[in-house]
Amino acid sequence: MRLNLRLPRRHAARAALAGLALVLACGSVMAADEPDLIFRRSTVFKWLSPNDKLAVYGLDDPEVQGVACHFTVPEKGGFKGWLGLAEEVSDVSLACRQVGPIHFKDKLDQGDDMFSKRRSLFFKKMQIVRGCDAKRNVLVYMVYSDKLIEGSPKNSTSSVPIMPWGADGTIEKCGDFVK
């Protein structure tokens, strides 16, 4: 016995529209976790399509109150970049700083993902991970990109020494919050 699993065209169109609506709804939910765009700067002029740019973003560490990171990523222009089909290069710079009193919200694993973002349609992802140098009481952040088949050795690291902040002057030890 053979089953016919093909949908009539009107049902296929409805299913496609429902899937698109679901993707758009999920995209708007995920946008709340997106970093803040600080500014963009054109680097390569394209005559009839968008220029290649460098974009600077800022984000707060969701698990460590009082730490903010800024990163710069290249953004491909041209028609492929405009349509979101260009594979972005792995060059990303990173700087993280203490911006207030540091408080840990929970226990952390060494090398936990702090932030992740796709850099191509399917295979490449940029990740910012966090660790603790307990000996020096320093938070260490690293950004890198990986591919499904082969990763990239391009990376950047930033350190945030945990210092007293304000009148309270208490200092939490990151080693106390590592699992």
Taking only the tens place, the pLDDT of each residue in 134-162 is 999 999 999 988 765 566 678 899 999 99
- pLDDT for 73 beyond 60: yes
If one counts every other C-beta atom within 10 angstroms of the C-beta of residue 177, the result is 17
- Residue predicted with more confidence, 93 or 51: 93
Q: 3-state class of 22 per DSSP?
A: helix
Percent of the chain whose predicted confidence (pLDDT) is above 70 = 64
Distance CA 120, CA 39 (A): 21
pLDDT of residue 17: 40
* Prediction pTM value: 0.71
- Residue predicted with more confidence, 2 or 113: 113
Tokens of 58: 């800022």
Distance CA 35, CA 173 (A): 27
Distance CA 172, CA 107 (A): 13
Write out pLDDT tens, residues 62-72.
999 999 999 99
Distance CA 23, CA 16 (A): 11
Residue 92 near residue 71 (C-beta atoms within 8 A)? yes
If one counts every other C-beta atom within 10 angstroms of the C-beta of residue 115, the result is 21
pLDDT of residue 118: 72
